[in-house]
Amino acid sequence: MQLEGKRILVTGATGFLGGRLVERLVRGGHWVRATFHERHVPAQREPIGWVRADLTKPEDCARVTRGIDVVFHFAANTSGAAVMVETPLVHVTTNVVMNTLLLEAAHAAGVERFVFPSSGAAYPPTDDRPVTEPEMFTGEPYPAYYPVASMKRFTELLCEMYAVRIDPPMSTVVVRPSNVYGPGDKFDPRTSHVTAALVRKVAERLDPLEVWGTGRDVRDLLYIDDFLDGLLLAAQSAAPHTVVNIASGEGHSVREVLETLLDLDGWPDADVRYDPSKPSTIPVRLMSNDLARASLGFEPKISLRTGLRRTLEWYRGEATQPTEVRRAS
């Protein structure tokens, strides 16, 4: 399926992933309808049409999907490790309602294809072995991820149902991203993931520089531009129902990420303090990208060092942070 000439809806278009996707699509000359809820529309982004919508309401879902050919559904309640541990259901109720109502509205509106970003966090643990697509439902997710993983798994099953188990079907694509980072990420300490949190702390020269956990946790980190490449390749798959990991295929520890940032920033004597008492999640999560390489021709292009440098430079430029060392509050 080609996207050229299609009327495209991107939900959650003021978020990190949705916002960067809108920019990519608009640059490519695509017709885009972009939804937002509470955040202000960024002045520098100019898709074809911004639409305010509350996707927990059936009438809003019906309104935004009317006349649409392809849906990229990025609207979601998201957060970091601390929120997942302290208030796990924050990821469940609202997202289940939004996902269910938007799928139903898209199908009723005659949408040709619905693209849903799932998560590598929904997989069962596989220790230091990269997890593959068929393993999603072979075991329980890691305990800290159970609520958000269950929500993602449920929506994946809904996507399969719409694509292959009802008549008329609606083609669906499920992409399972690894840990995506880059310019435009969430840097708010209350909601950021580990890579963005480290970028912020280095850019702001926090002293001491505190890191949650031991620093030994390993993640597959994927730069935003590589993720968008894989996402758009998957969205144009010929299959009526596609499920695929979009990942770098490499693991990096939190310590490695921090050491790379400190080296890039010329700050070798930072007072780094790891705190194992703070909330953390699965010790190792690696994801195979073999299927994406073989079936989509997906090849990550941005190295970790290059991606971190670009993100650090972007954050410094956007946030206008001081460069001198300052005490952490």
Q: Do 314 and 228 sit in the same domain of this protein?
A: no
Distance CA 97, CA 95 (A): 5
Q: Do 169 and 214 sit in the same domain of this protein?
A: no
Amino acid identity at 203: A
| Rg value, the chain, Cα | 19
- Assigned domain for 213 exists: yes
Q: Do 87 and 156 sit in the same domain of this protein?
A: yes
Q: Do 115 and 240 sit in the same domain of this protein?
A: yes
- Assigned domain for 232 exists: yes
- Residues 175, 181, 184, 187, Cα dihedral to 10°: 120
Q: Do 174 and 198 sit in the same domain of this protein?
A: no
Q: Do 123 and 214 sit in the same domain of this protein?
A: no
Q: Do 205 and 132 sit in the same domain of this protein?
A: no
For residue 70, what pLDDT is reported? 98
In 3D, which of 306, 251, 258 has the Cα closest to residue 283?
Answer: 251
- Assigned domain for 111 exists: yes
For residue 184, what pLDDT is reported? 94
For residue 22, what pLDDT is reported? 95
Cα 34–Cα 14–Cα 151 angle in degrees, nearest 5: 90
Can you give the CATH number for the domain in which 307 is found?
3.90.25.10
For residue 280, what pLDDT is reported? 76
pTM of the model: 0.92
% residues pLDDT > 90 (the chain): 83
Can you give the CATH number for the domain in which 162 is found?
3.40.50.720
Q: Do 170 and 61 sit in the same domain of this protein?
A: yes
- Assigned domain for 274 exists: yes
Distance CA 265, CA 316 (A): 11
For residue 281, what pLDDT is reported? 83
Q: Do 227 and 281 sit in the same domain of this protein?
A: no
- Assigned domain for 296 exists: no
* Residue numbers in the chain where pLDDT is lower than 70: 39-47, 78-88, 90, 319-329
State the CB neighbour count (10 A cutoff) for residue 15. Answer: 22
In 3D, which of 214, 293, 208 has the Cα closest to residue 249?
Answer: 293
Q: Do 159 and 271 sit in the same domain of this protein?
A: no
The SS3 of residue 141 is coil
Q: Do 163 and 51 sit in the same domain of this protein?
A: yes
Residue 272: domain span: 194-218+250-286+302-327
**Total domain count, the chain:** 2
Q: Do 155 and 81 sit in the same domain of this protein?
A: yes
Cα 178–Cα 281–Cα 234 angle in degrees, nearest 5: 15
- Assigned domain for 187 exists: no
- Assigned domain for 316 exists: yes
State the CB neighbour count (10 A cutoff) for residue 294. Answer: 10
- Assigned domain for 266 exists: yes
